[in-house]
Amino acid sequence: MTEDSVLLDPSTGYLLLAIFSVLWIGLGFYWGRRNKSFEDHALAGRNVGLALGSATAAATWITSNTTMLAPQFALELGIWGMIAYSMAAFGLILFAPLAKRIRTLMPNGYTSGDFFRLRYGRTAWGIFMLFTLFYSLTWLVSMAMAGGILLEALAGIDYVWGMTVILAVCVIYTMRGGLGAVIGTDFIQSLIIIVGIVVVGFAVLQNVSVDEIHANLTATKPELVHVLFPAALMAIFNNLLFGLGEVFHNNVWWSRAFAFREGVGSKAFLIGGLVWFPIPIAAGFIALASGALNVAVPSPDMVGPLVIANVLGEVGAVAIFIIVFCSLASSIDSLLAATSDLITEDIYRRLLKPAADPATLKKVAQWITLALGVGTWAVCVPRVGTLASVLFFAGPLVGAMIWPIVTGLYWRRASSVGAIGGMLLGGGVGLISYFTIGWFVASTIGTAVSMVWVLGAAWLSKDRFDWNLLKED
């Protein structure tokens, strides 16, 4: 990143940062004023309606990756890359029936860890915790680092300051307001992001036609419009399976399934997925227009902001700043809330203090949120760029958890041997393929190996699971 790429005056950047920080913290305090117990704090009283539910599903899935990495995908892998990124919408869409099933089987559940512990036992739970904490913490670190880097790139705000403010704001309102505040702010953030992306998309179309974009791509970047582009073809299902693995296993989504009112979960996730689906396509389209608009791209992750600033000038720079800030906040707050709930429920309550009362659990969850924030900050300050890329190692790990979860929710004969072997073998072989072939095959191969093992184990298993065991108090 060079100084020349700063798109916005730093004083404007600081002003926007201050306005939105005050807004989110104020709303967090407002929505958190009625939280009394751990259930209120962690699951918003299990009473979230359809509008908020759909918005939080879409907004949480719109990370800074969606607004920054989707254009990069399109610039690197073309039309297929753009579609490949959108395939992650199937994570939400296919989680819709799972959410209904989860709510039915586990009316008193709190976390995805509860499911693994009750369904497959302690060993499988331990492996799950290792995988999911690796994924969640690297996602959290990558988001916080991305926040600092993007604010610096967009408005010249010092990396440490930008990262600290974003993290501090999210920690404060998540600590105070819990999942209720997270979902409420997600609703506003999703509206801002969607309106922003749509406006930018139309603005780009005002400057250049689809025919011009296609002609430019055909002449200068032919592989981007080539149907048989090998890396892009491999990325389609790899990304779809990565997305499925992320959503199916992570407590960010399970906590929402538990928090949504009876009958809301399946509709909310379906609507959230459908709302999310076109966003990477719109963001990717912006990147494909860069050539026709004569926007030189010094770094692929900056293609989106550069095109938007080129098309909309100062207004575009302000818009992308707000969109990025909202995208970051909507993901960081969800991760903080879901990860602190996972640690509070699965480790503190189930392992250390089974007799802890609801008020104590709420306090513990708040302190864990703070500790996660401070820990993430300490890891992010040195700005070790390779840390953010560690998130991509998680692709095969989360892919390897898909089949143990799906079969565990629907098949009585799904076994612990199948789940443990599927996670370990799928994750291991997937990681090997990550290094020997590339990131665009790791999730596919990891999921394939896990699938073969889990199905084989289920076929050979004589166990028949009693669903009532999931209805733990």
Partner 1 sequence: MAVTDRARSRQMNYPLESCDLPGSQAGMHLLRGANSRNSAFTTHQQEHRQVGRHYRQGTISFSKENIAPRSPRPFPDRAPDRSAVRLLVALISLAAALLLPAAPAAASAPEWADGGALASDTGHVLLEWQASEPVTLSIAREANFSDARELYEGTASSYFLSGLSDGEYHLRLQAAGGKLSEPAVLTVAHQSLAQALWLTLIGLIITAGIIATIWRGARND
Which residues of the shown chain bind partner 1 in the complex (CB under 8 A)?
A: 1-4, 75-78, 90, 94, 97-98, 100-101, 104, 217, 220-224, 226, 228-231, 233-234, 236-238, 240-241, 244, 296-300, 303, 402-403, 406-407, 409-411, 438, 441, 444-445, 447-448, 451
The Cα-based distances of 217 to 202, 214, 222 in angstroms read 20, 5, 6
Q: How far is the CB of 105 from partner 1 (least distance, A)?
A: 10
Q: Which is nearer to partner 1, 180 or 245 (CB)?
A: 245
**How many other CB atoms are found less than 10 A from the CB of residue 462?**
6
Q: Which is nearer to partner 1, 181 or 380 (CB)?
A: 380
Helix (H, G, I), strand (E, B) or coil at 84: helix
Q: Which is nearer to partner 1, 326 or 458 (CB)?
A: 458
8 Å CB contact between 63 and 142: no
Q: Which is nearer to partner 1, 156 or 177 (CB)?
A: 156
H helices within 122-264, ranges in order? 122-155, 159-207, 210-220, 230-249, 251-259
Q: Which is nearer to partner 1, 134 or 237 (CB)?
A: 237
Q: Please report how many Cα atoms fall inside a 13 Å half-sphere around the Cα of residue 68, on the Cβ side.
A: 24
Q: How far is the CB of 237 from partner 1 (least distance, A)?
A: 2
Q: Which is nearer to partner 1, 125 or 229 (CB)?
A: 229
Q: How far is the CB of 184 from partner 1 (least distance, A)?
A: 30
DSSP bridge partners of 260? 48
DSSP bridge partners of 48? 260
Q: How far is the CB of 213 from partner 1 (least distance, A)?
A: 12
Q: How far is the CB of 104 from partner 1 (least distance, A)?
A: 7
Q: How far is the CB of 433 from partner 1 (least distance, A)?
A: 10
Nearest alpha carbon to residue 111 among 328, 361, 363? 361
- HEC sequence for 360-388: HHHHHHHHHHHHHHHHHHHHHCCCCHHHH
- Nearest-angstrom CA–CA distance, 35 and 180: 9
